Amino acid sequence: MSPPLVIKNGTVVNDDGMFKADVLVKNGIIVEISPNIIPLPDMELIDASDRLVIPGGIDPHTHMQMPYMGEVTKDDFLKGTEAAVAGGTTMIIDFCCPDHRNGESLMAGYARWRSWADPKVCCDYGLSVAITMWRPETADQMAVITSPEFGVNSFKFYMAYEGTLMVKDDEMYRAMQECAKLRALARVHAENGAVIKEKEKDLLAKGVTGPEGHTQSRPEEIEAEATNRACVLAAQANCPVYIVHVMTKGAAAAISHHRSLGSIVFGEPIAAGLALDGSHYYDEDWLHAARYVMSPPLSRDPTTPELLMKLLASGELHLTGTDNCTYDCRQKSLGKGNFTKIPNGINGVEDRMSVVWEKGVHSGHIDPMRYVAITSSTAAKIFNIYPKKGRIAVGSDADIVIFNPNAYRIISKDTHHHVS
C-alpha cells in the first residue's frame, strides 16, 4: 500500500470552479482538500506550484486489441493504457464487439474482452457492448448484461462496415427500444454503410484505388444523413443517443437540430478531428495518406476542426474521445491497390489531453473548467460514474493529473508510448 500523498500549492480545477488548494490522498481516495495541509513525515509530497490539479482524463472511445478485418489493432490493453496514462487519461471506455452474427452471446463476447483486458490493463476501464444484429435472444441478453453482475450501461451501433459490424435500421430501432426500457445509452457510429459500399465499387471501377478513394466514397453528407437518421430513430424509440466521432459540420448540425427539438443527444468529436483535416488523403506518399484512413474520414473542409472546438465551447457538442484504433505500416499496406482494404483507424489516446488543451484553452476557445468538462467530467456523468470519477472532491477516486499548462512538447513516434 502506498503512503498518503499530499499535493501542495496547485490550482484545483473542476468543471464548475477552480481554486488554490492542497489535496490529501489516502488509499487511492481524496480525503481532504483545504488551503494548507501540513504533510506528516510518513507522507509523500508533490509540489504542484504553477500546475493545475485536474481530474484524470476519461477517453470514452477506444479500440484496444480489437480484432477487425482479419487484423488486430496494435495497441493492446497494456500498451494502449500505458499510452493513455502517459498522456493524462486515467480511464478508457473501450468497445466490446461480440460475434453476435455468428451466435456469440453478448455475455460471452464481454467475457472474451475482459480476458484480454483484465490481466494487463493499467488504468480504469469500462466497456460499451456492440449490437451487430437483432436475434431472438438479443433482448434477454441486453437485460442480463446491464445487470449489476456485468455493469454495462451503454450499447454501440455501427451504421457502417456492411457485412461485419453494421446493424440494419430496423434492428437498431428495436435495440434502441430495448435500451430505453433498460435505461441504457445507445451510442452510434453514424454513416450510411450500404451507400458507401456502392460508392466504393464505383470508385474502384473507375480506377480510383488509393487512400483518396476512402474520403471520396464517404462524402460529408453521408455522415450528416446517418446522424440525422440515428437521432430520428432514437427519438422514435424514446432513447437518449450518443453520436461517436462527430467529424463534420453537417453531423454537428444534425445533433443541434435534434437537441432543439428536445431530444437527448450527445456529440463526441475526437482528438484527430479537432486537430487535423482530410487534406492528408491526397498526400503523394501512399503510406502517409493511409495512416489517416479512418471512418468517418477527417473532414476535407479545413475550417471544420476549429468549428468543432467552438461547438464544444458553446455546449452544442459535449465531450471528446479519440477512437484510438492503431494499425502499423504492414497492416495499413494491406490496402495497397484497393483503398477499401486499408484498416480503418487512427491513434489519439496518448495525446488527446494535450491536443484539446492546445486547440481549446491555448487557442482561447474555452477556459480550464470547460476543458475538464469535455475531457473528463461530462463522460463521468454520461456513464454514471460521477463524482467518483471526473471530479477533484473529497470521496472521489484519486485519478488526478498534475498538469503543466505551459509545457511544450512535440508529438513523435520516437517518444510516444503506443505500440510502435
Ligand X SMILES: NC(=O)NCCC(=O)O
Q: Which residues bind Zn ion (CB under 5 A)?
A: 189, 323
Residue 28 neighbours by CB distance under 10 Å: 11
Is residue 129 a contact residue for ligand X (CB under 6 A)?
no
Smaller CB separation from ligand X, 69 or 393: 69
Residue-by-residue DSSP string for 96-153? E---GGGT--HHHHHHHHHHHHTTT--SEEEEEEE--S--TTHHHHHHHHTSTTT---
Residue-by-residue DSSP string for 198-219? HHHHHHHHTT--STHHHHHTS-
Task: Please choose which of Zn ion, ligand X, none residue 258 contacts, taking the beta carbon within 5 to 8 angstroms, the exact cut-off set by kind.
Answer: none
Smaller CB separation from ligand X, 270 or 380: 270
Is residue 270 a contact residue for ligand X (CB under 6 A)?
no
Smaller CB separation from ligand X, 291 or 370: 291
Q: Supply the minimum distance, in Å, between the C-beta of residue 366 and ligand X.
A: 25
Q: Supply the minimum distance, in Å, between the C-beta of residue 412 and Zn ion.
A: 24
Question: Where does residue 388 rank: exposed (0-12), middle (13-18), buried (19+ CB within 10 A)?
Answer: middle
Smaller CB separation from ligand X, 174 or 189: 189
Is residue 218 a contact residue for ligand X (CB under 6 A)?
no
Q: Supply the minimum distance, in Å, between the C-beta of residue 309 and ligand X.
A: 20
- Which residue's Cβ lies closest to ligand X? 344
Is residue 344 a contact residue for ligand X (CB under 6 A)?
yes
Q: Cα dihedral sign for 293, 130, 186, 123? A: negative
Q: Supply the minimum distance, in Å, between the C-beta of residue 161 and ligand X.
A: 7
Q: Which residues pair with 124 in a beta bridge?
A: 91
Q: Supply the minimum distance, in Å, between the C-beta of residue 404 and ligand X.
A: 31
Q: What would the x/- binding string for ligand X be over residues 62 to 101, using CB under 6 A? A: -x--------------------------------------
Q: Between the CA atoms of 384, 390, 391 and 396, what dihedral angle is there, to the nearest 10 degrees?
A: 70
Chosen residue from 51, 74, 100, 189 binding ligand X by CB under 6 A: 189
Which residues lie below 8 Å from residue 293, measured CB to CB, with a gap of 6+?
211, 214, 281, 332, 335, 339, 342, 343, 344, 345, 346
Task: Please choose which of Zn ion, ligand X, none residue 345 contacts, taking the beta carbon within 5 to 8 angstroms, the exact cut-off set by kind.
Answer: ligand X
* CA-wise closest residue to 347 among 290, 282, 279, 271: 271
Chosen residue from 325, 349, 353, 385 binding ligand X by CB under 6 A: 325
Is residue 323 a contact residue for ligand X (CB under 6 A)?
yes
- Give the integer Cα–Cα distance in Å for 138 and 339: 34
Is residue 269 a contact residue for ligand X (CB under 6 A)?
no
- Give the integer Cα–Cα distance in Å for 407 and 303: 26
Is residue 294 a contact residue for ligand X (CB under 6 A)?
yes
- Give the integer Cα–Cα distance in Å for 19 and 342: 48
Q: Supply the minimum distance, in Å, between the C-beta of residue 298 and ligand X.
A: 10
Please give the size of the binding site for ligand X, defined by CB under 6 A: 8
Smaller CB separation from ligand X, 55 or 211: 211
Q: Which cell numbers in the block locate residue 390?
A: 471526473
- Look up residue 17 and give its DSSP letter: E
Is residue 250 a contact residue for ligand X (CB under 6 A)?
no
Is residue 187 a contact residue for ligand X (CB under 6 A)?
no
Q: Supply the minimum distance, in Å, between the C-beta of residue 346 and ligand X.
A: 7
Smaller CB separation from ligand X, 10 or 250: 250
Smaller CB separation from Zn ion, 189 or 300: 189
Q: Supply the minimum distance, in Å, between the C-beta of residue 345 and ligand X.
A: 4
- Give the integer Cα–Cα distance in Å for 51 and 80: 26
Smaller CB separation from ligand X, 228 or 344: 344
Contact indicator for 49, 12 with CB cutoff of 8 Å: no
Is residue 352 a contact residue for ligand X (CB under 6 A)?
no
Q: Supply the minimum distance, in Å, between the C-beta of residue 295 and ligand X.
A: 4
- Give the integer Cα–Cα distance in Å for 135 and 151: 22
Contact indicator for 160, 189 with CB cutoff of 8 Å: yes
Smaller CB separation from ligand X, 146 or 324: 324
Q: Residue written as cell 510516444?
A: 416
- Give the integer Cα–Cα distance in Å for 307 and 265: 19
Q: Supply the minimum distance, in Å, between the C-beta of residue 156 and Zn ion.
A: 8
Smaller CB separation from ligand X, 325 or 353: 325
Chain residues binding ligand X by CB under 6 A are 63, 189, 294-295, 323, 325, 344-345
